[in-house]
Amino acid sequence: MEDWWLARDSQGHTGWLLGNRLDVDVPDEIGTYAEGQRIVGAYVLTKVTDPEASTSNHEIPEYLTVLAPPKSGLPFDFDQVRVFTWSMKHHRYETAYRLHGLQGYLPVRLSSQTVANRSVPVFSFVIDNDRNVYTDSATGIIRPSSPRTINFALIDTQVKRIGPDMGAFPDVQSPEDKAKAMAKAKAKAAAQAARAKRR
């Protein structure tokens, strides 16, 4: 199976593009955190001013990114969410929030909300509450059979979950993925123990 993206350019032209031929434009400082995953979307949540930043106007965007394994034909759009904020102390991007092991679907929605008498950036997306999906017969788009909308707010450098749905995230990892993760964790622990013995 192949993934195709419906894209629109700055002149308003639209067309279908093969997903594995696209790269989402993000700063190199954020792209290095992809760790072999494919960045599916990158969204500017807000901008902060750092007088010591090397950019000409000293305005630094803070990003929300969604990522997926580098495979085609997956039954979801992304399985990881990461928020990158700017450290005024170290003058670099840092991971403010990371969520993985979910089945997320585009679009990601951005807005703002008043929290403690000030406006803060808010984002939301849909996840599947189980592993069941269906294919829309009119469009061919895969949709979750049990969708949930999850909302977050970026308050200073902290990401907080907000909104009516505060339930636990579902465990949607397949038994094969769980077995791989367990084997990887055991191998890492064994390597650390071996290094500790050599000291």
The two structure tokens encoding residue 42: 């990158």
- Distance, C-alpha 88 to centroid of its chain: 23
Read off the pTM. Answer: 0.80
- Do residues 157 and 85 touch, judged by C-beta distance below 8 A? yes
**30-34, 43-47, 77-81, 195-199: least confident range:** 195-199
Asked if pLDDT for residue 196 goes beyond 90, the answer is no
Q: What is the pLDDT of residues 22-40, one digit of tens each?
A: 888 888 889 988 888 999 9
State the pLDDT at residue 96: 94
- Among positive and negative, which fits the CA dihedral 31, 33, 35, 41? negative
The two structure tokens encoding residue 82: 């990461």
Q: What is the pLDDT of residues 152-175, one digit of tens each?
A: 999 988 999 999 999 888 876 656
Q: What is the pLDDT of residues 53-91, one digit of tens each?
A: 776 678 899 999 999 998 888 889 999 999 999 999 988
Q: What is the pLDDT of residues 129-149, one digit of tens each?
A: 888 888 888 877 788 888 999
The Cα 127–Cα 124 span in angstroms is 10
User: CA angle 130-71-94, nearest 5°?
Assistant: 80
